């Protein structure tokens, strides 16, 4: 028997749970089951749903569904849309944060014109985060907005050397910017994309070895959070003529990062900062008393599609041997996940809406 490690419940500020409109890919019950299996007790769900969480009526209806069906604690992002900037103050009362898509990705939600960006930065409360999907020179746009409005901005899934170096420079200049990187950008490159085809396609796309080296080099300093960008699509959709970008990540992120820890690439303290304390502090999320996860750091497992709880049922990491297993998850004193006892999984509704 190897020793059990107790860690805080993990926090993922970047998951796609597909409600409303994409429940065949994932819903609140299946996505939060995957979260618990991955060691996450608190997650934020993205607004690029169908319809998007960009109007008060859709956001409130989605909150009503979530409150009945989540197994862990979930907050919802509002999405910025040029057509609905007048709703931003009302959306802010019911959302954990605002997401602005500056670049093309899955779904039509986009806000890149200056009037819309001004409205977002003027109307969104300073106490709640603005998160950006920004690639390439859009990172400079986001830094400019953070500087002009002197307010915090969080950069999602930074994946390129140029981007992380620009964020490092912005931080050195004292600007209130933070960023996340994903395990898939830390573990896969464009060579894997060639091997995986649509199963290795996401936004931002997998990058070069040099880009990946830069992310690892900045993991001890510039990077604030690891986020999964859990973006499930079905295998049928991935096999179609027009495959959507995105891959699941909730159940593989911690095993991958624990494997990196065993390889000496980061310390356990840093892992906990990146996957729990920093995301909670940066997004101002509530603490979760009597909440922790039990890890077997020595256990070696082979990642297998058959064992996933995400509805999409596949991961590009299938077949990879990882070291570090989530055994049990305790949320507010209650057992909500046990790897050996499927019946211990918390029922829908056991989680709280943030
Ligand atoms: O690959 C991605 N998939 N990147 C995104 O930004 C969106 C996501 C999705 O919703 O599928
Ligand atoms: Zn994105
Ligand atoms: Zn995303």
Q: What is the pLDDT of residues 48-64, one digit of tens each?
A: 999 999 999 999 999 99
pLDDT tens digits along 96-138: 999 999 998 999 999 989 999 999 999 999 999 999 999 999 9
The answer to whether the CB of 105 is under 6 A from ligand 1 is yes
Across 6-20, average pLDDT: 98
| Number of compact structural domains in the chain | 1
What pLDDT does residue 353 have? 98
Across 227-234, average pLDDT: 98
Confidence of residue 2 (pLDDT cuts 50, 70, 90): low
Q: How far is CA 55 from CA 49, 51, 71, 98, in A?
A: 12, 9, 25, 12
The residue among 265, 272, 232, 262 whose CA lies nearest residue 249 is: 232
Across 4-27, average pLDDT: 98
User: Pairing mode, if any, of strands 73-79 and 40-45?
Assistant: parallel
Across 246-272, average pLDDT: 98
Domain assignment present for 310:
yes
Show the beta-strand stretches assigned E in 16-116: 40-45, 73-79, 97-101
Across 37-49, average pLDDT: 98
Domain assignment present for 15:
yes
Q: CA–CA separation, 37 vs 130, rounded Å?
A: 28
Q: Is 3's pLDDT higher than 90?
A: no
Across 254-269, average pLDDT: 98
Structure tokens at 260: 């990196």
Domain assignment present for 353:
no
Q: What is the CATH number of the domain that holds 196?
A: 3.20.20.140
* Closest ligand 1 atom, residue 157 Cα: 6
- Ligand 1 site-directed mutation target among 99, 134, 244, 316, most atoms within 8 Å of CB: 244
Domain assignment present for 140:
yes
Ligand 1 centroid to Cα of residue 3, in Å, is 37
Judge contact between 44 and 32, C-beta under 8 A.
no
Q: Which residues contact 28 (CB under 8 A, 6 or more apart)?
A: 17, 19, 65, 66, 69, 70, 74, 348
In the structure, ligand 3 is a single-atom ion and the residues with CB under 5 Å from it are 229
What pLDDT does residue 112 have? 87
Q: CA–CA separation, 276 vs 90, rounded Å?
A: 29
Domain assignment present for 352:
no
The answer to whether the CB of 133 is under 6 A from ligand 1 is yes
Q: For the chain, what is the mean pLDDT?
A: 98
Residues pairing with 294 in the sheet: 6, 328
Ligand 2 centroid to Cα of residue 298, in Å, is 33
Domain assignment present for 349:
no
Q: Is 289's pLDDT higher than 70?
A: yes
Structure tokens at 218: 């900045």
Domain assignment present for 354:
no
* Closest ligand 1 atom, residue 245 Cα: 1
What pLDDT does residue 1 have? 54
pLDDT tens digits along 127-179: 999 999 999 999 999 999 999 999 999 999 999 999 999 999 999 999 999 99
Distance separating the N- and C-terminal Cα atoms of the chain:
38
What pLDDT does residue 28 have? 98
The answer to whether the CB of 202 is under 6 A from ligand 1 is yes
Ligand 2 centroid to Cα of residue 5, in Å, is 32
* Closest ligand 1 atom, residue 16 Cα: 10
Q: Which residues of 251-273 are buried (b: 16+ CB within 10 A; e: fewer)?
A: bbbbbbbbbbbeeeebeeebbeb
Q: Which domain holds residue 332?
A: 5-344
Show the beta-strand stretches assigned E in 145-304: 153-155, 177-181, 225-226, 292-302
Residue that is written with structure tokens 């494997």 in the block: 259
Nearest CA to ligand 1 atom 4: 203
Domain assignment present for 209:
yes
The answer to whether the CB of 48 is under 6 A from ligand 1 is yes
């Amino acid at each position: 028997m190897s020793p059990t490690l107790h860690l805080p419940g993990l926090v993922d500020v970047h998951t796609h749970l597909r409600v409303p409109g994409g429940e065949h890919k994932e819903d609140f019950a299946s996505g939060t089951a995957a979260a618990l299996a991955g060691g996450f007790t608190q997650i934020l769900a993205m607004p690029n749903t169908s319809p998007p969480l960009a109007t008060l009526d859709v956001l409130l209806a989605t909150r009503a569904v979530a409150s009945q069906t989540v197994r862990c604690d979930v907050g919802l992002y509002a999405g910025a849309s040029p057509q609905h900037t007048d709703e931003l103050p009302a959306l802010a009362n019911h959302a954990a944060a605002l997401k602005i898509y500056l670049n093309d990705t899955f779904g039509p939600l986009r806000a890149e014109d200056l009037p819309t960006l001004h409205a977002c930065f003027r109307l969104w409360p300073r106490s709640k985060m603005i998160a950006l999907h920004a690639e390439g020179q859009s990172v400079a746009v986001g830094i400019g907005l953070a500087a002009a409005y002197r307010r915090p901005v969080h950069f999602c899934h930074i994946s390129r050397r140029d981007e992380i170096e620009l964020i490092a420079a912005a931080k050195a200049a004292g600007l209130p910017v933070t960023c996340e990187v994903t395990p898939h950008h830390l573990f896969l490159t464009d060579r894997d994309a060639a091997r995986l085809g649509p199963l290795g396609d996401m936004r931002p796309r997998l990058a070069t070895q040099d880009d990946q080296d830069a992310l690892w080099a900045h993991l001890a300093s510039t990077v604030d959070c690891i986020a999964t960008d859990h973006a499930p699509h079905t295998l049928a959709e991935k096999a179609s003529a027009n495959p959507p970008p995105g891959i699941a990540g909730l159940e593989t992120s911690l095993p991958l990062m624990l494997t990196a820890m065993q390889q000496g690439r980061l310390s356990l303290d840093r892992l906990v900062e990146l996957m729990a304390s920093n995301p909670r502090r940066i997004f101002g999320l509530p603490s979760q008393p009597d909440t922790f996860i039990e890890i077997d750091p020595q256990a070696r497992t082979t990642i297998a599609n058959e064992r996933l709880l995400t509805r999409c049922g596949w991961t590009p990491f299938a077949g990879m041997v990882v070291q570090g297993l989530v055994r049990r998850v305790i949320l507010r004193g209650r057992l909500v996940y046990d790897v050996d006892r499927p019946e211990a999984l918390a029922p829908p509704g056991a989680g709280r809406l943030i």
